[in-house]
Amino acid sequence: MLAFIVVSHGSFAQGVVDSSYMIFGRQNKVQTVTFQLDEEPEDLTAKLSAAVSQFDADDQVLFLVDLWGGTPFNAASRIVAEHTERMGLITGLNLPMLIEAYTVRDKPLDEVIAHLEETGKIGIKHLELLQDGEEDDAL
């Protein structure tokens, strides 16, 4: 089963994971790592390494990170670069992405990443309200 490390600036990652459990139920092999204002990049790297060590040596691990190019991304990408055969990283963390990841975690890592990239693109929607006099058969 695919393991997840959810990483963000501030407490965002913890909030997203907590919310995902409310919707999808508690999940195994999910670690949350947050990068706080008073921490240095080395602190974050140590926390990420500790999170990885919670999984089995043969687990595939996917880092779900909030922002491309930020400190969490940079620290996680260095770890992934050392373990490319069993680790991956995707950015743009949000609640629908995490829930979707749970539904496909039995698939190989490369398939999960491709799926999350695709569903992430179509997952952004806006509410289009009708003007007076217009009808919407979908409602």
Q: Does residue 134 carry a pLDDT above 90?
A: no
At 62-94, the pLDDT tens digits run 999 999 999 999 999 999 999 999 999 999 999
Enumerate domains of the chain plus CATH numbers.
Answer: 3-121 (3.40.50.510)
**Three state DSSP letters for 16-61:** HHHHHHHHHCCCCCEEEEEECCCCCHHHHHHHHHHHHHCCCCCCCE
> DSSP label at 131?
P
| CB atoms near residue 64 (< 10 Å) | 26
Q: pLDDT above 90 covers what percent of the chain?
A: 83
Residue 132's pLDDT band, with cuts at 50, 70 and 90, is: confident
